[in-house]
Amino acid sequence: MDKKITASLKGIYSHGLDSQAGRYQALIEMFKRAYPGQKKYFIFRAPGRVNLIGEHTDYNGLPVMPMTLDRDIAIVASPRKDNLVNAKNFDEEYGTRSFAIKKTIERYPSGDWGNYLKASAQALVNINRNLKGMDCVIQGSVPKGSGLSSSSALVVGTGITLMRLNRMNIPKIKLVGIFSEGEKYVGVQGGGMDQTVSLMGMKNKALKIDFFPVEIKYVALPEDKYSVIVCNSLKVAKKSGKMKDQYNEKSLSCKLAMAMLDKKLRQEYGKKFAISFLGDLRNKKFRKLIEDKRKFTDKYFHEEDYHIGEIANFLGIKKETAVKKYLTLRDGSVLGNIKAGFNLNKRVLHVLTEWDRVEGCVKMSKAGKWAEFGKLMYESHASCRDNYEISCPELEKLVGLAKRFGAAGARLTGAGFGGCTVNLIKIGTESRFIDFMKKRYYKEYLKTDFNPSYINICHTTPGAGLVLTGEE
């Protein structure tokens, strides 16, 4: 094994170093075969993440608490003198993508992995009109559709690579906004959590991230008492393709709720109480008003679903205007199935109570009260299921089994609709937990053969950046 590769990886990965070195060596060899004319190469990486608590709060301007993983996107690349991007995926299932960087980059069909490459290029060419292309090989160890942010890691990894190869010097904290906004290119109305933690992650720490503006505080992890373990439900949770509307309904519901709440608060209390995000309710002037989150939500939103016509009527605008302003995505498409209605009461209740749970977990972390931290994880899951409606039978089974085992905490993590659960498991019981889940979930519930990759003990890594350079 190349000693240079191993030495470069020691500061990144705390476990499985030999395996990672073999992975990077294979990537380099594929790159040399694919692009024999390139004599010098650069290797970059961007980690995936698991969110401990704070689901669907980021795009509302409220905090989250994720941590990086040693599952990541690795890219071997060389700069080109023209504007072409040639990207070969290490996984033959995905194939090769090639496109030209220009002022407006046309999208591939919805759901194509190449759109995440284009999202990064589009975001950067908006800043640098002379952006040059690259030849690259890409490999991802973040399971696709797992809720561990494989898509955002790909956007960040591609973006970091293009930026560094073009000698662009942009602080990481500014890249957060560039790449989170840039990822909307694929048609998903998400927030900035995934890009922030991938860029700003730190070994042995979680991140408490606030938004508008982005502020980061590093939070202790219970490494001497509990392990963080992720279980894959094996139900793929895509934020593109057919699942895009289900994901976008949540963020757009919050946008509608904010518009209605803004008008109601201004009518009742005056212009000084105007809001632009639900996160603006953090302001001290709202403290007494939102002290009881359930009472506040019930006061301003009825329990039945709202229809877009009703919302438009309240806002004093035409239905067509409301659809264009609040339900149209960045790619110009309109949210599908808008006739189904929007339960604004439940959506707002989840967002506001989830904010409280994040703040509570920060306090529990500082105090070393991990059992209480775990209870808040269970409460978060219940709200994700009942109020935000992003769970599914597979996730419910996993969380129920974790509780039965005796996990201090367990919850779905990521966008929902499938993907993974995150579990807080007492040190020394990890093997028993894995064996328990292997039998009860994968063999008995799913009736499928178990693969060790389905359950992972999480290990943190640094944020995205350069790993090493090499020459022929």
Predicted confidence (pLDDT) per residue in 443-455, tens digit: 999 999 999 999 9
Q: Which of 326, 346, 366 is the last residue of a domain?
A: 346
Q: Say if 83 falls within a structural domain.
A: yes
Q: Rounded mean pLDDT of the chain?
A: 94
Q: Same structural domain for residues 212 and 253?
A: no
pLDDT of amino acid 244: 75
In this structure, the answer to whether residues 48 and 165 fall within a common structural domain is yes
- What is the Cα–Cα distance from 261 to 258, expressed in whole angstroms? 5
Residues 188 and 290 in one domain: no
The kind and range of the H/E element at 23 are: helix 17-34
How far apart (Å, rounded) are the C-alpha atoms in residues 364 and 368?
6
Strands 84-89 and 134-140 turn out to be parallel
Boundary (domain end) residue, out of 293, 316, 346: 346
96-100 and 226-232 strand pairing? unpaired
Query: Does some domain include residue 131?
Result: yes
59 with 194, same domain: the answer is yes
pLDDT at residue number 438 = 98
Q: Is the pLDDT of residue 241 over 60?
A: no
**Where in the sequence is the domain holding 320, given as residue range(s)?**
242-346
Within a domain: 402: no
* Residue 24 within any structural domain of the chain: yes
The letter for the amino acid at 448 is T
Q: Is residue 333 part of a domain?
A: yes
In a domain, residue 105? The reply is yes
Model pLDDT for residues 182-226, shown as the tens digit of each residue: 998 987 777 889 999 999 999 999 999 999 889 999 999 998 899
Domain boundary pick from 286, 317, 346: 346
Mean pLDDT over 61-88 rounds to: 97
Q: CA-to-CA distance for 380 and 20, rounded, in angstroms?
A: 34
CA-to-CA separations, 61 to 103, 215, 454, in angstroms, rounded: 30, 11, 32
Q: Which pair of tokens denotes residue 444?
A: 């008995």
Residues 281-330 pLDDT 10s: 999 999 999 999 999 999 999 999 999 999 999 999 999 999 999 998 87
Token representation of residue 123: 């975001």
Q: Cα 162–164–169 angle (5° rounding)?
A: 120
Is residue 32 located within the same domain as residue 63? yes
Number of domains in the chain: 2
338 lies in the same domain as 287: yes
SS3 of 301-345: the string is: CCCCCECHHHHHHHHCCCHHHHHHHHCECCCCCECCCHHHCECHH
149 and 295 share a domain?
no
Residue 466 and residue 319 share a domain? no
Residues 199 and 268 in one domain: no
**What is the mean predicted confidence (pLDDT) over 390-412?**
98
Q: What are phi and psi of 466, to 5 degrees?
A: -75, 135
**Assessment of whether the complete model's pTM goes beyond 0.75:** yes
49 with 85, same domain? yes
- CATH number of the domain that 22 lies in? 3.30.230.10
CA atoms within 13 A on the CB side of 96: 12
- Compute the average pLDDT of residues 383-387: 98
**Res 1: pLDDT:** 55
- Helical axes 244-269 vs 319-326, angle rounded to 10°: 110
- 299 and 176 in one domain? no
What pLDDT was estimated at residue 336? Answer: 78
